[in-house]
């Protein structure tokens, strides 16, 4: 059985780092690469960059990590979206490795 994945999308890279750290300290999880998105309406957002944090581990640990990350992110710039996938499909597993952070 595949590891669960928790996806937490937040406003800004600093918030992503702090939320990722909080999640990793709150539960036995590890991270996949971050991803970024600058939406068309970026100028109307609190921070013009959305960052996706991807936690991996057991369902209970991933859930705890997402909740800890959300708590921190809400106190900073905010949470865009979150979701826990208990048993990701192999196609989803491949998509977790994609990151736009190393692109211009």
92 close to 5: Cβ distance less than 8 angstroms: yes
100 close to 63: Cβ distance less than 8 angstroms: no
Structure tokens at 11: 């406003």
Residue 11: pLDDT above 90?
yes
Residue 6: pLDDT above 70?
yes
* pLDDT of amino acid 104: 58
Residue 8: pLDDT above 70?
yes
* pLDDT of amino acid 103: 64
What span, in angstroms and rounded, lies between the C-alpha atoms of 82 and 30? 17
Query: Tokens 């809400």 appear where?
Result: 74
Query: What CATH number should be reported for the domain whose range is 4-95?
Result: 3.30.70.1710
Specify burial of residue 57 (Cβ count, 10 A radius: 0-12, 13-18, 19+): buried
Tell me the per-residue pLDDT of 46-80, one tens digit each, with 9 for 90 and over. Answer: 888 899 999 999 999 999 999 999 999 999 999 99
C-alpha angle 61/67/70, rounded to 5°?
Answer: 140
Q: In angstroms, what CA-CA distances link 38 with 14, 35, 48, 81?
A: 15, 11, 6, 15
Tell me the per-residue pLDDT of 12-37, one tens digit each, with 9 for 90 and over. Answer: 999 999 999 999 999 999 999 999 98
pTM of the full predicted structure?
0.91
Reported as a pLDDT band with limits 50, 70 and 90, residue 100 is: confident
């Amino acid at each position: 059985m595949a590891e669960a994945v928790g996806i937490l999308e937040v406003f800004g890279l600093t918030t992503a780092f702090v939320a990722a750290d909080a999640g990793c300290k709150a539960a036995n999880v590890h991270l996949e690469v971050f991803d970024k998105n600058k939406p068309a309406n970026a100028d109307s957002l609190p921070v013009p960059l959305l960052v996706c944090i991807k936690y991996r581990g057991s369902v209970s640990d991933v859930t705890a990590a997402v909740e800890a990350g959300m708590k921190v992110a809400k106190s900073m710039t905010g949470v865009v979206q979150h979701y826990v996938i208990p048993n990701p499909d192999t196609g989803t597993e491949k998509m977790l490795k994609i990151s736009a952070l190393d692109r211009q």
